[in-house]
Amino acid sequence: MSADPRRWWALVVLAGAQFMVIMDTSIIGVALPDMQHALGFSPGGLQWVFNAYVVAFGGLLLLGGRLSDLLGARRVFAIGWLALIAGSVVAAAANGPALEVTGRAVQGVGAALIAPAAMTLLMVLFAGQPSELPKALAFYGAAAPAGGTAGVFLGGVITEWLSWPYVFIIYIPIGLLSLLMTPALLPAVPGRKAGLDLAGAVAVTGGLALAVYAIVQAPQRGWGTSTTILQLAGAVVLLAAFVLIQRLVRRPLMPLSVWRTPNLAGANVAMTLLGAAWIPMWYFLNLYLQQVLGYGAFPSGAALVPMTALMMILMVGVTGRLIARFGTKPLIVTGLVVLAGGLGVLSTVRAHGTFLADVLPGSLISAVGMALVFIPATMAAIGAVPPEQGGLASGIVNTTYQIGSAVGLAVMTAIATSKGASHLGDPHSLTNGFQAAFIGAGVVALAGAILGLISLRIPRSAPTPDPETVNV
């Protein structure tokens, strides 16, 4: 297959989309107090500025991946940007809580279409270039954690020097530019003429959305309340119905045979637990910087730049060569162990600590762990599926990461709160809560390493530096 001469410029567009999609989960954090004052959110309702996006994003990712396969990845990518732009306009212009939450949900729908379509397009662009694929995936993969950290930094800058609506307005010109570049740089991937499994789509989307909704609400409502239990039970029933539907219909949304792909299940378990460990680490580290060390919005974002820079350097310049040398399984297992070690270091933060002693060492070790896991797990999840199922596999791996992130953050928030993280103004209680969250996230990372060691396969022959081995 001849290489597309536009592929590296196209990769910039795709990685930029991934950067923006993930940044949208974090850029609103610093702006929330101003939004609460301006729009009249209740303390309990304010969380839905974040949760509405996550519920729509996590709940619709699998459907977005399937639509990418059926309608064509470039078309779905463009539709996703239109939805994200529309949601940004609504969120920026909102004059009350209901309209703000609606805009955020529409943004989440757009993100759920963009993310799997972008991965499919990347695989098409570099499918015939095995020596370049690891570097392309590394560059694309680095955009996700970079977007999460950049959101904190940019949110602080925008909120401090402009105003909160601009955290949404920023998406409008970037989205329009992406739409302009889409037909010029991205390949026209034809869709497959097949019926859409509407019953399966409703069941899986409803099940995932209900599960995420129940989990993010549980720390406030209580895990043992009848409402939480009924919602989680409803999610289980819907997801079980989805599996049954996939067995019965002729053209299922997610052919169950895809799970016979080597390492797909194991890689998704690793991605789930990676999200469940990494996102709480990032979240509580930011709270520690602001609520305990007293950093403002701008310094707090700047304090996370070394961690992000190290991740990007490792992902782009090192991870691909390590995959070619050792294969994916050793990196996934080792990376999760390293991440657990970094979280262990962070669990020693002090109430009167410093950035250099309490934040920088643990954050850099955690960044090494993230860099070792993210790209190999992504490649293990999607590298062996046939091209016509690329969007599906991408939707699955994005879904597991987002669901893991939501579950992990909800659980670690409950743990941190029980240990004192809700006592604002009390550095010792806050620190105790954050320490507990770091320990919990470290246990999750270690569990991921153990499960990866058990479930992931290795090639029968020893790995060699040959680039052809990167998809094992």
One DSSP character per residue, 276-326 reads HHHHHHHHHHHHIIIIIS---HHHHHHHTHHHHHHHHHHIIIIIHHHHHHH
Q: Give the CATH number, domain containing residue 40.
A: 1.20.1250.20
How far is it, in rounded angstroms, from Cα 443 to Cα 281?
12
Task: Single out the residue in 174, 196, 218 at which a domain terminates.
Answer: 196
The whole-number pLDDT of residue 300 equals: 76
Across 252-261, average pLDDT: 80
The total of other beta-carbon atoms located within 10 Å of residue 394's CB is 30
Q: What percent of the chain has pLDDT over 70?
A: 92
Residue range 237-245: average pLDDT? 93
More confident residue, 137 or 64: 64
Q: What is the mean pLDDT of the segment spanning 377-386?
A: 78
212 shares a domain with 149 = no
State the total domains in the chain. Answer: 3
Of the listed ranges 72-76, 151-155, 363-367, 444-448, the least confidently predicted one is 151-155
Q: How many CA atoms lie within 13 A of 335 on its CB side?
A: 33
Quick one: pLDDT at residue 332?
95
Q: Is residue 329 a contact partner of residue 270, using CB atoms and an 8 Å limit?
A: no
What local confidence, expressed as pLDDT, does residue 387 receive?
A: 64
- Mean pLDDT calculated for residue range 434-444: 96
Residues 9 and 65 occupy one common structural domain: yes
- What b/e readout covers 147-156, taking b as 16+ CB neighbours within 10 angstroms? bbbbbbbbbb
pLDDT over 90 (residue 58): no
Are residues 218 and 188 part of one domain?
no
More confident of the two residues 49 and 130: 49
Q: For position 461, what pLDDT does the model report?
A: 41
Same domain, 79 and 142: yes
CA dihedral sign of residues 30, 406, 256, 127: positive
- Would the pLDDT of 465 be above 60? no
Mean pLDDT score across all residues of the chain: 84
Which of 252, 276, 299 is where one domain is finished?
A: 252
pLDDT of 44 over the 70 cut: no
Closest CA to 448 of 436, 460, 456, 439: 456
Task: Give the mean model confidence (pLDDT) for residues 437-446.
Answer: 96
Are residues 47 and 150 located together in one domain of the fold?
A: yes
Residues 25, 116 within the same domain: yes
* Distance separating alpha carbons of residues 103 and 242, to the nearest angstrom: 28
Cβ atoms < 10 Å from Cβ of 82: 14
Same domain, 117 and 229: no
Is 214 found in the same domain as 189? no
Categorize the per-residue pLDDT at 180 as very low, low, confident or very high, splitting at 50, 70 and 90: very high
Q: pLDDT class for 194, splitting at 50, 70, 90?
A: low
Rounded to 5°, the CA angle 36-308-316 comes to 135
Range of the domain at 83: 1-196
- Write out the two tokens for 278: 């990494």
Residues 38 and 48 in one domain: yes
Query: Which pTM value belongs to this model?
Result: 0.78
Is the domain of 61 the same as that of 177? Answer: yes
Q: Are residues 38 and 103 in the same domain?
A: yes
Model confidence at 443: pLDDT above 90 = yes
Looking at the fold, whether 192 and 203 belong to one and the same domain comes out as no
**Average pLDDT of span 410-419:** 82
At 472 the pLDDT is 26
pLDDT exceeds cutoff 50 at 462: no
Residue 335: CB atoms within 10 Å: 28
| pLDDT value, residue 78 | 95
